[in-house]
Structure 1
Amino acid sequence: MQHSACKSSRIQTLAIPPSTDITELFAHYCQSKWSILLDSANSTHKNARFDIFVAKPIAAITAYQNSCEIEYFYDHLNDYSPIEKVEKITGQPIAILRTLLQSSLPKEQPTAKDRDRLLPFTCGAMGYFGYDLGRCYETLPNVAKSVYQSPDMAVGIYSWSVIKDNHTGLFYLTDIPSLPAPTTAEIESLLNRPLCEKTQGKWQLKTPWQSNMLKNEYVAKLQNILDYLRAGDCYQVNLAQRFHAQFSGSTWQAYLTLRKSNQAPFSAYIQLVNSTVLSISPERFLKVKDSQVESQPIKGTRPRSTNPNTDLSNIEALKNSTKDRAENLMIVDLLRNDLSKACEDHSIQVPELFAIESFEAVHHLVSTVTGRLNSSDDSLSLLQGAFPGGSITGAPKIRAMQIIDELEPHRRNIYCGSIGYINRNGDMDTSICIRTLLCEDSQIYCWAGGGIVLDSAPEDEYQESLDKVSKILPILENDL
């Protein structure tokens, strides 16, 4: 049932000092199931304007392939009174999510205020879409082991959010009148409340990091990919190794340390029922604003150096690398095709090609692909048609994913999936889950890889995978 009434989101300015970091507020929610922080991590990147957090959803959906479970926390058919209800549905998860979003929240009032349009998210869906969700939409082999509790998709429906505009320093509480939400006073009082002991608990790795592939195994698999490339199966294949260790203590403290060291504009913290996601991704997957579509694939990497001359030399090497530019261009072409499935004819453009963007651990080669959404499509159909992102599969996508499943020992789960929101007005912003960790059952998992093309050198590709986690694995080895 879809609500017939139209209601505008209410946006209230919070009396919180501009110097306050959003983590100081979210820390009071971080242990709560289905709490989510989308965090620019104090980055100076152009995509780092807003921080958003949500908690206590109206409903939440999880999916293991085509088996979906919807948990209702409030009765959207009866004045949003608290309930506990679980519904199990078999079908395509993104389609079921669309129906849940439309039925759970009243329709957006079409005459929104200008300030309402400035904020990226007011109320709607937020969560993650794991890499293996792609198995619901494409026929793939079943070779890689699945050892995770975390679902292929986990998305909550939220009737309120707290947002910080890092350009102005202003904090906002957005909600829909008459729907469940905290008051401004409750949010403002968080700064004066002590944190729970578990949130402040010590973080510690109990065992050393261990890869699921030895170096010689990884290099041998790269040679297998080169054989596939020479045979004409693909132009590019992404291969990743997975690191894991046992841990104890506060995942929140681990996240705070990672965000400080990496300052990635698409960072995120997601607390689920049995697992926690820590993401410090620099990469945007898909953004939709007023039907305008944007994707910013990353392909091409060089390490950062504390020596300014070496650092500049690494930038120049990346900028002039024929191999990295070709790798990037392949993914740009793949994304042009993927976006065209849900975008107007002749609207796909590439306004920026091979731009250099520098982050705390690495320099990246980044391009921008844009389009305009068809009137018959929405953000979720765009997401479904382009999922998973081509920058972390290879090209052609389906054959590359088949090879990935054959060569990687374990499934990817959250890694190389996507984290983000779908606002109830149809706007969307999502990341690619690189530099992303999964914590469950006292185990922490972290992945790193790269795109392999015909002139890739296996030893160099192996080292690049280590460069990408150079500010993750060593940092978490310290007791926090």
Structure 2
Amino acid sequence: MPHADTINVHVTRFTQQELANEFALDCDNTIVFNRLFEQISAQPYAILFDTSGSSKSDGRFNIMAFSPTAVIEAKGEQTELIDLHTSSRQRLNMLPFEAVQAHLHAKVESIVVKATFDTTHLPFIVGVAGMAGYDTGRFYETLPSMAQNDYSTPDFTVGLYLYSLIEDTQTGYIYFCSADNRSLSQVFKSLKQVPTPEGFKLTSPFESNLSKDAYETCLAKISAYLRAGDCYQVNMAQRFSAAFEGSMWQAYCELRNQNQAPFSAYYNLPQGCIASISPERFLRVKNKVVETKPIKGTRPRFNDVEKDEASAQSLLNAEKDRAENLMIVDLLRNDVSKHCKPHTVKVPALFALESYEAVHHLVSTVTGELNDASSPLALLASAFPGGSITGAPKIRAMEVIDELEPHRRHIYCGSVFYMGYREDMDSSICIRTVLAENNRLHCWAGGGIVLDSVPSEEYQETLDKVSKILPVLAMMNQ
């Protein structure tokens, strides 16, 4: 690719009250940012990275990006570059992440930021953002195709964004970043108006693609693979589906308020919509420092304080969950080390407790220093999908998943991510995530299966994980 032309990016800073006044928003200042996103939420490729009011995992900034100039889309075995100004499609003989690097990120390698204040602390500013579904892994590994693929949304969609709004939740400032020096109100007014659906409601109850007996039969097959030495751990999930009508943005707002997950995200695609309330980081790269935070180990939350504390202590002291977590830490240390400088990969936190609205989790942290010869997108591609939601060894575990789960996972256990022009990247693991397409919702829950797993307990854990999603969406009918 030729070197990128220099792009001047103008950054303007507002208080929340200034934007509330400019856009006539009759709301509390704390929700001005989300009310602004609501105005563009139905725009194709509008994307929101949302800390949901959580400060976990260094949560500080909310980011929205919109009106991308171009998109890399991949599905099946095909990767395409879409020019959104001309609506033209070009088929590429490239893998998805590599296509993003060459055709999108290459265009923002030469950026000059124009601002009257310090912007060095801001993430992203302009760059690439989007989603890579779990099945993006099929572009990088040879896997069986037994599970049914009944989705219309692509496996991978990433855009080049030259507009963004960034909220600093510590200071309350909101920053508008623009490559064409138009004002925020001018840009919003220029967007083609897309009708937004009214309300949200389920038009059928959620049903799983596996009964309890069928799920436990799958666990028995996994146990046989574990005893045979095929794997040490396999993640096994079930998919819940329901019919719906109305506004997915409204549904997302209810889910994010109920769950307060630090890696929440909303992504509106032409074919469907992703609403994620994930608590899990996949990979972050900032100033060449790599961090991944695998979750492995879960217990339910309780309203009774003593019962809740006992549940947390049960998790902290559980040998099975600690062993399960350690297996994934080792897998991720191996994945990360391939792109990090020798002897820089460390585990600064092992088996830390993080508590969310529905469950307690056991979370570890792995860090390293990125090789000078590598890039964040190359790291993401080589570690994809995240080891915390496959099992170990990864490829054999993925083969077992494809054999036993009736449907492909799509966005579940994939990632929503961004990488700004400075190659600052952050990405989630899309657990606790809903895919909406063709008036159908899909939501998944799973868990890591090891030799001493108890099938009935593993099944119940999957229900615990969606206890703040499925009932919340059902309650919206009332």
Residue 416 of structure 2 is aligned to residue 419 of structure 1 = yes
1:220 corresponds to: 217
Deviations 1:306-360 (A, max 9, x none): 0000000011000000000000000000000000111111110000000000001
CA 471–182 in structure 1, closer or farther in 2 if over 3 Å, else same: farther
Corresponding residue SS for 1:19: helix
Superposition deviation, residue 182 in structure 1: 4.9
Aligned pair in 2 of structure 1 residues 442, 451: CA closer, same or farther (>3 Å)?
same
The residue number in structure 2 matching 1:363 is 360
Q: Choose the corresponding residue for 2:403, options 377, 401, 406.
A: 406
Q: Which residue of 1 aligns with 2:375?
A: 378
Does the CA contact (< 8 Å) of 2:70 and 2:104 recur in 1? Answer: no
CA distance in 2, matches of 1:330, 1:12: 46
SS at match of 1:244: strand
**What is the deviation of 1:242?**
0.2
RMSD (Å), alpha carbons: 2.0
Distance 2:414 2:118 in 1: 31
Give 3-state SS (helix, strand or coil) of 1:413's partner: coil
Give CA deviations for 1:264-283 in whole Å, capped at 9, x if unaligned.
00001100001000000000
* Deviations 1:99-152 (CA, angstroms, capped at 9, x unpaired): 112443352349999933211111111000000010111111110010000111
Residue 72 of structure 1: CA displacement?
Answer: 1.0
Q: How does 1:19-98 map to 2 (within 5 A)?
A: 19-74=30-85, 83-98=86-101
Give the total of aligned pairs: 464
The corresponding residue for 2:135 is: 132
Alignment gaps of 5+ in structure 2:
18-28
TM-score (norm 1): 0.93
The one of 98, 103, 107 aligned to 1:100 = 103
Alpha-carbon distance between aligned partners in 1 of 2:187 and 2:37, rounded to the nearest angstrom: 10
CA contact (8 A) 1:15 1:188 kept: no
Provide the rounded CA distance (Å) in 2 between the counterparts of 1:235 and 1:479. 41
1:143 corresponds in structure 2 to 146
Q: Distance in 1 between matches of 2:8 and 2:286?
A: 18
User: Counterpart of 2:231?
Assistant: 234
Supply the distance in 1 between the matched residues of 2:195 and 2:185 (Cα, whole angstroms): 24
Q: 2:6 corresponds to which residue?
A: 6
Give structure 1 stretches of 5+ with no counterpart: 75-82
Pairing of 1:312-351 with structure 2 (within 5 A)? 312-351=309-348
> Contact conserved, 2:432 with 2:465, CA < 8 A, in 1?
yes
What secondary structure sits across from 1:115 in the alignment? coil
8 Å Cα contact 1:202/1:479 also seen in 2: no
Q: Distance in 2 between matches of 1:246 and 1:4?
A: 45
Task: Output the amino acid matched with 2:157.
Answer: A
Q: CA deviation at 1:404?
A: 0.3
The verdict on how the C-alpha distance between 1:94 and 1:65 changes in structure 2, with shifts beyond 3 A counting, is farther
Contact 2:278 2:432 (8 Å CA) reproduced: yes
Q: Residue 87 of structure 2 aligns to a residue in which SS?
A: strand
Q: Which of 120, 124, 137 is the equivalent residue of 2:123?
A: 120
C-alpha distance in structure 2 between counterparts of 1:21 and 1:265, whole Å: 18
TM-score, structure 2 length as denominator?
A: 0.93
Measure the CA separation in 2 of the matches of 1:182 and 1:262: 36
Q: Which moved more, 1:87-96 or 1:161-170?
A: 87-96
Residue identity opposite 2:435 in structure 1: L
Q: Relative to structure 1, is the Cα distance of residues 21 and 458 closer, same or farther in structure 2, using a 3 angstrom cutoff? A: farther
Separation in structure 2 between the aligned mates of residue 220 and residue 264 of structure 1, nearest angstrom: 32
For 1:102 and 1:471, locate their aligned partners in 2 and report how far apart those are by CA, in whole Å: 37
Q: Distance in 2 between matches of 1:88 and 1:196?
A: 28
* Partners of 1:61 and 1:397 in 2: CA distance: 26
Matched, 1:473 2:470: yes
For 2:184, the equivalent position in structure 1 comes to 184
Alignment of 1:172 with 2:183, yes or no, is no
Matches of 1:360 and 1:206, distance apart in 2: 26
Contact 2:52 2:260 in 1 (8 A): yes
- Give per-residue Cα distances to partners, 1:212-240, cap 9 Å, x unaligned: 00000001101111111111111100000
Task: Rate the CA distance shift 1:374–1:438 in 2: closer, same or farther, 3 A.
Answer: same
Q: Distance in 1 between matches of 2:58 and 2:153?
A: 28
Measure the CA separation in 1 of the matches of 2:2 and 2:178.
19
Q: Distance in 2 between matches of 1:20 and 1:210?
A: 34
Contact 2:239/2:445 (<8 A) preserved: yes
Write the letter of the residue equivalent to 1:250: S
Secondary structure of 1:26's aligned partner: helix
CA contact (8 A) 2:267 2:273 kept: yes
CA contact (8 A) 1:303 1:467 kept: yes
- Of all paired residues, the percent bearing the same amino acid is 48
